[in-house]
Structure 1
């Protein structure tokens, strides 16, 4: 893909308080492909290590007059807080276990490109839904586009009352066989309180809830937002199969995030309302 002059003279700051490979690199590359100037800041090695608050970091970055700030933060609502103290467009790259809107956008794009539609499809999301911002954004976006969504996993990892978001719930792994797309989530142990036992062990989780070739029917598409724990939530054979769309998701991430930056900087108003990227549908 050739570099385009579309956003020459614009500045995009990537502010990541949590680890990331796919999201941070794709946003940085997306900005560079559109000829924007980029700055990447990770909490490790920054003033955050010295106790600086998110508000003061936002005020500091706002003084540089950036056009876009892409933020990932463990605190729910962090993108809104940053928007309050800067005049930049704010893109939510993940806030705690709340939302990850651009992941949902790239997932819908991937499904649409592969299957030709979203409306009427059945998507099963299997795994640790309780701690997954990806699951919440995808449930919202898929329901908005007319897909049927079923959440599958052990009861402690399925939030109570989540059916109100427009999805179904099953505690049986066999439920994934009815879906057109099986979307696999990893166990997010970094978000689990110390000593919390949502499942007896990872080994038992794999035995009961791992997505294996035997649990799928021919032709089912499989997705995973990454990072994968091969041999835990997903069998390596499934991850590498022809029906897996995992590499396509990564490629879609670059294209979709280029589109997000382009749309923000050519159409959308700045601040917390920009481009509905705090939550799907909030434009």
Structure 2
């Protein structure tokens, strides 16, 4: 079971601070989405509104065509695991899993036990007594075993060491293939998880600056290197994200479609065109908090 998400003219404020600024997009569902943005870009606020942890100030959010806020029938279909894990510190690990089974209609107790064993979770210990990495693993276990039609992870694995994180990525993909659902991953560890993303959304200062299939988005980032004057002439009219110059040689990163004819012209002019990785593209798109200019 998968649910689509529609966000229409969404605005959220904290006092005089606008966290989300007239945000609109649609997710068809049944995919793994990457949600990227610098600190303070609005990622956590967006996920919190989708999960009905708070109401929007303006605009609307629909999950499977329904508003989730104060709607128990739809919120039980949504699971948001935040960095803190969304677990009760005073409870034992086994109690957290038991409580989750009581409130989640798609809960898989056998899968939860399998994950707890994989992450070597001490079932009889209180969550508050665990290391940060183990606390993160408890949250991951809950989020995965919930098998909610909309499952969201907001930096919820940052406390885990690299082997545990990679084990999570592998398991997420494996279980997603067997049990398709809508998964949104908010992360700063872009290089680690980029291969999981089918689509990527990039927020910058509360605004959506990019939303596309991952492959298509990466193809829109191109580095152009060569003699400075030739690079400048070729990039006129293109969206320039950054440039570097050493002596008479210049490298400029642009964002947008460059067709085969333009690529042939670049090569004929002695320019080198290269790809831009997702993480580098993200850095350029959100540089100085202004988005592409």
More strand by share: 2
Q: Between Structure 1 and Structure 2, whose CA radius of gyration is higher?
A: 2
Taking structure 2 as the reference length, the TM-score comes to 0.27
> What TM-score, normalized to structure 1?
0.28
